[in-house]
Amino acid sequence: MTMIPVYMLLGVTGSMAVTQKPKADVARDHKAGISSSLARIFLTQLDNLNNHTDKQGMPGSRYVGVEGWSSKQVAGWLRDQGFREYVDLLCSKHRLDGASLLCLTETDLRSPPLELKVLGDIKRLMLAVRRLQRQHTALTQSGSEVSALSLIHTGRTDRVISNGFAERGSGDHQHCNGAVTTVGGEHSYSNGKRKQYCVRLDPEYWKTALSALYAMLVCGVTSFVMVLVHERVPDMRTYPPLPDIFLDSVPRIPWAFAMAEACAVVLGSILMLVLLMHKHRSILFRRLCNLTGSVFLLRCVTMFVTSLSVPGHHLQCSGKMYGDAWAKVQRALEIWSGLGMSLTGVHTCGDYMFSGHTVVLTMLNFFVTEYTPRNWNFIHTMSWVLNLFGIFFILAAHEHYSIDVFIAFYITTRLFLYYHTLANTQAYQHSRRARIWFPLFSFFECNVTGPVPNEYGWPFSKPAFMRMLLG
C-alpha cells in the first residue's frame, strides 16, 4: 500500500479554502460538528486523488504526515525539489526520515557529518525545508476542518485522524480536546493551541512500594547517623559557636523552631490531600520518596564527615555516649518514630550540615506547586509563604547556621528541578548515562512517558446510595 506524502495533499486543502466559512462560523462549526457539505467536498477530493493514484498503479493509497515519512519518501521529496545529488548522502548514508527532516537546520547542513560545500544548495535546500515545515505546521493547526471525518481504513490498522495526518500502529488511540495520542505508538499530535498529554501512565504500584521502602530505610540510616554524630559533638568550651551574620544580628526567638515544624505539618497536610485526589498519586508518591530519600542519604554523608560546633549557647549539647550498639539502635528508633521533630519530643545535636527541616519544607512546597494547576494561585502563594517562613523560623530559633539552611535549600531545589527535567525528557530516560549516574531515576521513571498531567478525581468508589441518587 503506497503512502501519498502530505505535501501532495496541500492542493486538496487549498481547493477547500474557497468554500470555507468566516473564522467565527468555522469556530462554531468545530464545536457543533463539521457541516456535511464540507465533509462531502473533502471526501470528493480524496476520491479524486485516490482515483488519480490508482491509475498510476498505487491502489489503496493513504495520506501520512511529514513526521511519518520514511527515508524513501524523503528521497522522493528531495528529487521533486531538485536535490537529487544529495539523496544518497542524506537518505541512504544518514537515514534522514520525515521527523528528522522537520528538525533539520542550516547548521546541520554546514557542520559534520554532512558538511555541504555549495552555499547556493544549502540556502535553496533550507528554503524548501522551511516551506515544508510551515506547511506541516499549518496542516497541524488547521486539523479542525477535517476532525469530523476520522476515516478508518478497515483493511489494516491505518486511520486518518483529526489533524489530517494518517497514522499506523497497533496501539490504542486516545482523543482529548483535539489532541490525538497513540498509546504505545510513535507520535502525539496537538491542536496547536495548548499542548496536552493523554498518555496512559502505568501506576506501577510495586515500584511505589519499593520507593517507600527506600525512603524508610534512608530515614532509619539517618536516625542512626544522628546518634553517631551526637557522640562527636564538639565541646562548647573548646569550640564556641561559629560567627554567623544572621545569628549574630537576629536575637533568638524561643518558640520559632516549633513554628517551623508547624509550617512543615501544614505543608505536609496539603500535599497529602493533593496526593489523595491526584489521579496519578502513585507516580507522585514514588517521586516524593525517591527525591526525599536521596537528599537525606546525602545529608547522612555530610553531617557524618564534618562535625560543626553548636550554633547557640542555649543548646545544652555535649558528647553523649550510648554504651553498646543496642542502646544506639534504640535511640535511633526513637528518632525515627518521632520523625526527628521536637514536637514529638525528639532533641538531637550535631546534625547541622545540612538542615533536614529545610529539606522537608522545600520538598513539600515544590511538590505542592508542581502538581497543582497553575491557576491555583492561593495554594501556591500559601505554600511558598509557609516554606519561607519556616526557613526564617529555623534561623530565628538559632538551631542551624545560615550555611546549613542555604545549602539544604539549594540542593533540594536543584535536585527537584533536575529530576523533573530529566523525567520530562523521554530520550534521556533510557540512555546509558542515565542508568550509570542516576540508577534510581532510570529505574523508577523508565515507563513514565512525558510530564504527568494534573488530573484529579475522587479516589474511592461512590457508595450505593450515592450511585442511586446521582446515577
Q: Which residues are catalytic?
A: 357, 400, 404
Measured from the Cβ of residue 145, the count of other Cβ atoms closer than 10 Å reads: 22
Q: Is the CB of residue 438 less than 8 Å from the CB of residue 422? A: yes
How far is it, in rounded angstroms, from Cα 97 to Cα 84?
Answer: 16
How far is it, in rounded angstroms, from Cα 292 to Cα 402?
Answer: 21
Q: Which three cell numbers stand for residue 306?
A: 564534618
From residue 346, alpha-carbon distances to 90, 190, 341, 434 in Å are 67, 53, 6, 38
β-sheet bridge partners, residue 153: 158
How far is it, in rounded angstroms, from Cα 170 to Cα 147?
Answer: 21
How far is it, in rounded angstroms, from Cα 1 to Cα 57?
Answer: 10
From residue 97, alpha-carbon distances to 64, 65, 68, 73, 287 in Å are 13, 12, 8, 8, 36
∠ CA(58), CA(61), CA(67), 5° rounding?
120
Q: Is the CB of residue 312 less than 8 Å from the CB of residue 246? A: no
How far is it, in rounded angstroms, from Cα 36 to Cα 51?
Answer: 22
Amino acid of residue 265: V
Strand ranges (E), 177-301: 179-183, 188-189
